Amino acid sequence: MAASNESRQQVAQVVERWAGSADPGLARDVFAVLAVLDENGALRRSLTDPSYPGAARAHVIGRLFSGKVSPQAVEVVAALAERRWNDDREFGDALEHAGVQLTAASAENRGGAEALGELVDQLIAFQSAVEDSHELQRALGDPRADVDAKTRLAQRLAPGASEEALLLIEQAVLSPRGALVGRLVGRFADEVASRRQRWIAHVTTSRPLTEEQLRRLQHQLNVLYSRDLQLTVDVDPALIGGLRVQVGEEVIDGSLATRIDELQQRIGA
């Protein structure tokens, strides 16, 4: 089951603390903790018990996993354990989502938007190879199959793939958590693609911008977000004036139409 939108938002708030220094090792450690929790229902349920204080749940994570995974991974999982979850399955889905996002952040740190795009392409290529073959689906989805054999098969299906792509592929193959391998890899690709949207600024203006205006806007946005964004520009006269910028899920709306709507709401018009 994929993490809910509310769960994703909670994960994003935690992951961004470590995203700037994320590497495959950090993501792998988060997945390792998830594997332990998936095998221990009683522990998983205790970590989502609303009567158990968040700080105490975080302390349990530290006591159990310190020295077994990196300190950064302990901090990530502990920060998630402190939060309130509807049930233990949602907490597990949140950890999986955190691992995927940290893997994407690792690719982002290595090569920016280009590396994220390559990661998406590699995951989709693997998904297509699996879903085009019933034999591969059976081999990779057989829970009785040898782990090393499944890992070698997955690696052969992804020649030249990055370390991040292999990590996510192996996670899907070895810990599908009830999902079909191909479908799960496709979901991972969607999550990586969502992070790539942070490198694209969707600009809507009431009238066409000049080259100089575009250049200044590009510069200001690059400074604001501390990365070289790709701009896409649409013209919508309904904005009346100003512009609207969306980067990922963040929206900067300076249109006159929006300000008029806000004024009308204030005065009850």
The rounded distance, in Å, linking the Cα atoms of 248 and 77 is 24
The rounded distance, in Å, linking the Cα atoms of 83 and 52 is 11
**pLDDT attached to residue 4:** 65
The rounded distance, in Å, linking the Cα atoms of 76 and 94 is 11
The rounded distance, in Å, linking the Cα atoms of 18 and 25 is 12
List the chain domain ranges.
5-196, 206-267
Residues in the chain predicted with pLDDT less than 50, given as ranges, are: none
Which of 183, 221, 228, 7 lies closest to 101, judged by CA? 7
**pLDDT attached to residue 167:** 98
The rounded distance, in Å, linking the Cα atoms of 34 and 77 is 9
Which of 1, 38, 2, 25 lies closest to 76, judged by CA? 25
**pLDDT attached to residue 265:** 74
**pLDDT attached to residue 252:** 85
**pLDDT attached to residue 225:** 86
The rounded distance, in Å, linking the Cα atoms of 210 and 114 is 27
Instruction: Determine the residue type at 95.
Output: L
